[in-house]
Structure 1
Amino acid sequence: MTEKRCYTVEDLQIILDISRGTVYKLLEQQEFRWFKIGTAYRISKKSFDEWLDNKL
């Protein structure tokens, strides 16, 4: 199995134990790199992991 390169909104909800709305707020604040495919958001794993490491 290959390693994920992107997270979903649901992944971030689980990782951070936060609500869906809070994830969307983080996306709006440009806390990490993300893109949209249709209506689905994909968050750069590398960008998110770096952001999280800086928060810890």
Structure 2
Amino acid sequence: MSTSQEKKLPSNRTYTVDDIAAILGIAKSTAYRLVNSGEFKTIRIGYAIRISRKSFEDWLAMEEPEEETE
């Protein structure tokens, strides 16, 4: 893809279930259970599921343990 075409593409505001599985290092079936748990906002387009990037990243930030400081 040329540079001019890349500039026209919008940045993704959503993740797929495969993206979530890869980010968390979990199985796709586990990612589907997590997505269906209601922990973050999802959008269904037919059979496709898209996860709000902001909602997921906010959830992930809450789930990360606080780093210890000395």
| 2:50 is the counterpart of 1:45 | no
Q: Could you list the runs of 4 or more consecutive aligned residues of structure 1 that deviate by over 3 angstroms after TM superposition?
A: none
TM-score by length of 2: 0.74
Of 29, 35, 42, which residue of structure 2 is paired with 1:27? 35
**Which one has the largest radius of gyration?**
2
Residues in 2 aligned to 1:24 and 1:55: alpha-carbon distance in whole angstroms: 18
TM-score by length of 1: 0.90
* Distance apart, 1:3 and its partner CA: 2.5
CA RMSD of the aligned region, Å? 1.0
Q: Is the 8 A contact 2:17 2:35 kept in 1?
A: no
Query: Matched residues, percent identical?
Result: 43
Equivalenced residue count is: 56
Segments of structure 1 that go 5 or more residues without pairing to the other structure are none
Amino acid at match of 1:25: R
Which structure is higher in RCO with an 8 Å CA cutoff and minimum separation 6?
1
Segments of structure 2 that go 5 or more residues without pairing to the other structure are 1-5, 65-70
